[in-house]
Amino acid sequence: MLYTRIVPAVDDRYDTAVKKKLFFEQILQRVKAVPGVINATVSLSMPPLGGAGSYITIPGKTHTERWESMVDLCSEGYFQTLGLQLLRGRLLSETDVDSARHVAVVNQVFARAYFASEEPLGQKIKFDVFDELPETPHNAYFEVVGVVTDFRNRGLVEPPAREAFLPHSITGFGHRVILAKAAVDANALRASVQREIWAVDSNAAVADSRSVKDLLAEEAYTQPQFGLITIGAFAGIGLALVLIGIFSVMAYTVALQTHEIGVRMALGAQRGNVLKMVLGKGLRLISAGILIGVLASLGLTRFLEGQLSGVSATDPLTFFAVVTLFLAVGLLASLLPARRAAGIDPLFALRYE
């Protein structure tokens, strides 16, 4: 997906909703004809990073708190470009956009939150923010004509928010974004898309143009990556302390049992038996520590749920991997003291105090 935010030349050529609609229609037709572009649409926002919001009014419904929703202004190809499926009703049509009809498509979470078991189709919604902005329809009610599937519309961590999609032609207010779904690397299309924009108006400013991958890398992944590096560094320090701690405890235990080991070996115990004995003690120590750690982790997972994306706070594969890692590290730390114990000279051990 390629995002291209366009700022038309600031003059009277695009000072009305109709003129701005015609301007972006020309751009859209040319962008769709670029080789490698599957579909394209006009939008006000840059999903999945969120967009504009508004308090809403629904006639006949009483509530104590103020109701709100995200609002996107788009063309009829928005849903096909983003791969959203229609659940009921219909999508925005070319006629809706051409005539700037006061119709809206809402997502599933919107329909569920505000209409519950009622039929959402045919319901009227007023977006209060339009009454406060210039060149927007004031005191206007939009009819719900369709419901689409939810998608991440306010970042990669937060759950889908309530959102309504309206024809972008209802107002000339604000900038617009061209979203192009590509069959090839989106960055390879950037120059071609910019040329088509400038072919319509050489004075139009391309304020931003990048692939969704680059957009997410810069806007959504930077903070989590920093957190991951920080947590990873502390986890590495913790793992090193575990290694040092187990090694120290086992070395001290072997030192205390040097005389006992010497007696065992003098009575015929083999080095393998001594090795197994020391490793067995180390394994019991490690197992007790892992059990306590797992139980404590399960108790603290509720503090991590809001910080994780794409994985459960109690993901069994993650817990298994961590347990396996600590078990391996613990046995490694126990191995050197065990080998030293197995290599003790019985005569020296018997004289050891």
Percent of the chain with pLDDT over 70: 79
Please give the Cα distance from 133 to 114 (Å, whole number): 25
Of 85-89, 145-149, 155-159, 209-213, the least confident? 209-213
CB of 201 closer than 8 Å to CB of 8 = yes
Q: What pLDDT score does 313 carry?
A: 66
In terms of domains, do 54 and 193 share one?
Answer: yes
The whole-angstrom distance between residue 86's C-alpha and the CA centroid of its chain comes to: 23
pTM > 0.85:
no
Residue 317: its pLDDT value, please? 83
Residues 42 and 142 in one domain: yes
Give the pLDDT confidence score for residue 42 in this predicted structure: 92
Do 184 and 122 lie in one domain? The reply is yes
Mean pLDDT check: name the lowest of 82-86, 103-107, 198-202, 338-342: 338-342
> Quick one: how far is CA 237 from the chain centroid?
27
pLDDT in tens, 34-50: 998 899 999 988 887 77
Q: Which of 172, 191, 217 is the last residue of a domain?
A: 217
| Mean predicted lDDT score pLDDT of the chain | 81
- Rounded to an integer, the average pLDDT of 195-201 is 88
- Residues 157 and 296 placed together within one structural domain of the fold: no
Total number of domains in the chain? 2
- Which of 217, 246, 273 is a domain's end point? 217
Q: What mean pLDDT do residues 322-349 have?
A: 74
Q: How many CA atoms lie within 13 A of 234 on its CB side?
A: 5
pLDDT (tens digit per residue) in 89-135: 999 999 999 999 999 999 999 999 999 889 999 999 999 999 998 88
Separation between Cα atoms, residue 196 and residue 30, nearest integer Å: 6
Is residue 93 domain-shared with residue 189, that is, in the same domain?
A: yes
Partners of residue 55 on adjacent β-strands: 68
Is there a single domain that holds both residue 193 and residue 262? no
Residue 104 is predicted with a pLDDT of: 97
* Predicted local confidence at residue 10, as pLDDT: 46
pLDDT at 164 over 70: yes
Query: Is pLDDT above 90 for 277?
Result: no
Q: Which of 194, 217, 240 is the last residue of a domain?
A: 217
Residue 307: domain span: 223-351
Residue 353 has pLDDT above 90, yes or no: no
Q: Are residues 210 and 333 in the same domain?
A: no
280/327 same-domain check: yes
- 196 and 277 both lie in a single domain: no
User: In this structure, are 234 and 292 located in the same domain?
Assistant: yes
Task: Let me know whether 48 and 179 are in one domain.
Answer: yes
pLDDT at 308 over 70: no
Q: Which residues pair with 177 in a beta bridge?
A: 5, 43
239 and 315 in a single domain? The answer is yes
Rounded to 10 deg, the angle between the 222-256 and 316-342 helix axes is: 30
* 218-275 per-position pLDDT tens digit: 655 555 556 667 777 887 887 788 778 777 777 777 666 666 666 666 666 677 777 7
Whole-angstrom Cα distance, residue 265 to residue 255? 15
